[in-house]
Amino acid sequence: MNLKNIDSYFSVSLSGMRKIIKDFQSEMEKGLSGEKCSLKMIPTYVDRPTGEEKGSFIALDLGGTNFRILGAELKGNGKYKVSRVKKFVLGKRYITGTARQFFDFIAGCIKTFIKRRARVAQEERAVGFTFSFPVEQTGTASGTLLRWTKGFTVKGVIGHDVVRLLNEALARKGLPGVRIAALANDTVGTLVSRAYEDRHCDIGVILGTGTNACYLEELSNISKWHGYRTSSGRMIVNIEWGNFDSLPMTSYDGQVDRTSDRTGQQTLEKMVSGMYLGEITRLILKDLLKWKMPQSFKTEYMSVIESDESASLSRTGSLLKKIGIKNSTIDDRRLIKKICGMVSLRASRISAAAIAAVIRKIDPALSRNHTVAIDGTLYEKHPRFSDHIKDALKEIFGKKASRIKTVLTKDGSGKGAAIIAATATHDYHD
């Protein structure tokens, strides 16, 4: 394999994006009607917020190796204040251990968070729980884990209600007063958080360690839904797009898939998200340069390399030195920069095509404004990812692309969980 071959192997042309849009839309339709397909299209029991939700809440945000607890105060009128954030690291022994160890650890963190506050108002004990894995929701505050992703392998959770497991752990820790009022995916939290202040927001996307999206759908289009009607007649649907699989895979993607925890699953996620881009790059470099590469080439290195504009690519040189490649030439560095660019460009164009498919689904003629709320380290930290997405949307939609606003919604999932808890608490008291 030479560089020229690889370049064409990785490029996603406009017609390539159009094909993804078409296949993605057809999978969305199947998922909504309950047919077996790659997109789960999970109804979330959550409607768009009004912006008037009020009160103080605790939000748990769990979806990667960092677990965060937030205290959030919603003031209504689209205004809010995050009063306190505490980060905890979920060590490897917890993410690969047993359900009891895992949930006891989380409950312990909640106990620490609550204890440190001198006075905790009653309603602050209503908790919004963002759990960023494929969960089949069975209610506003209940849902069954379908599968683990992103390297988590905790035993005894798949097939079980994650809220029940957390409640049992909270009881073991002596915290019976803490009530999980809502369970949500991080994409849903992100959409809700932006929609609290922006009435055009109808899509939420995560581009981080993992990737996924959700959007606001008409209940009448979710033919598999037989539950209650929301007052607006709409509901947010968690697409679980990481598992979309009609994509042209390269041999490097095949290698990543074979050595991952879940072979044959999460194909789009393995071509797009931060957990895998570094590994794809490492495999190409190993193949092309015949270098003995370090065991892990982190996706964050790609951001450093791709933002290196110095003539001698000196930051790239120092980074390579740090990971054990001492005498890189300027040609080597240029090549590495090119490969990183190729891998991240492909990821951003696949993401843009998937976003375009969702927009076409809700508004085929693109006749309204849409805000796409996006969070995740890859989107936030990579120097070009967000621009590449914008450019690709322009290629797909032409001038009408100006109706689509893609906005970084930082820490949206935690805040969104508080808003969802507020809505759920409100319903609960009515």
Give yes or no for residue 240 binding ligand BGC (CB under 6 A). yes
With respect to ligand BGC, which residue has the nearer C-beta, 206 or 424?
206
Single residue of 31, 43, 49, 63 touching ligand BGC by CB under 6 A: 63
Give yes or no for residue 49 binding ligand BGC (CB under 6 A). no
β-strand 234-238 against 179-184: which pairing, if any?
A: unpaired
Cβ-contact 211, 241 below 8 angstroms? yes
Give yes or no for residue 267 binding ligand BGC (CB under 6 A). no
310 CB contacts (<8 Å, ≥6 apart)?
A: none
- Region of 96-104, 154-162, 184-192, 197-205 interacting with ligand BGC (CB under 6 A): 184-192
With respect to ligand BGC, which residue has the nearer C-beta, 210 or 416?
210
Give yes or no for residue 210 binding ligand BGC (CB under 6 A). yes
- The enclosing H or E element of 360 equals helix 330-362
Give yes or no for residue 257 binding ligand BGC (CB under 6 A). no
Q: DSSP readout, 364-407? A: TT--S-EEEEEESHHHHHSSSHHHHHHHHHHHHHGGGGGGEEEE
Single residue of 56, 130, 149, 281 touching ligand BGC by CB under 6 A: 149
Return the residues of window 127-146 that contact ligand BGC according to CB under 6 A: 132-134
Q: How far apart are CA 156 and CA 98, in angstroms?
A: 7
Structure tokens at 53: 């939700």
Give yes or no for residue 217 binding ligand BGC (CB under 6 A). no
With respect to ligand BGC, which residue has the nearer C-beta, 146 or 335?
146
- Region of 26-34, 207-215, 284-292, 386-394 interacting with ligand BGC (CB under 6 A): 207-215
CB of 64 to ligand BGC, least distance (A): 7
Number of residues that bind ligand BGC (CB under 6 A): 17
CB of 206 to ligand BGC, least distance (A): 4
With respect to ligand BGC, which residue has the nearer C-beta, 28 or 319?
28
**Burial 22-42, CB ≥16 within 10 A → b, else e:** ebbbebbbebbeeeebbbbbb
Give yes or no for residue 375 binding ligand BGC (CB under 6 A). no
Give yes or no for residue 186 binding ligand BGC (CB under 6 A). yes
Cβ-contact 270, 276 below 8 angstroms? yes
CB of 136 to ligand BGC, least distance (A): 11
**Helix, strand, coil fractions of the chain, as percent rounded to 5:** 45, 20, 35
With respect to ligand BGC, which residue has the nearer C-beta, 43 or 242?
242
The residues carrying an active-site annotation are 68, 132, 186
Q: DSSP readout, 292-346? A: ---S---HHHHHHHHT--STT-HHHHHHHHHTT-----HHHHHHHHHHHHHHHHH
With respect to ligand BGC, which residue has the nearer C-beta, 269 or 308?
269
- The enclosing H or E element of 67 equals strand 66-76
Give yes or no for residue 348 binding ligand BGC (CB under 6 A). no
Cα–Cα distances in angstroms (integers) from residue 206 to residues 324, 379, 411, 423, in the given order: 32, 8, 11, 23
Site for ligand BGC, rule CB under 6 A: 63, 132-134, 149-150, 185-187, 206, 208, 210-212, 240, 242, 269
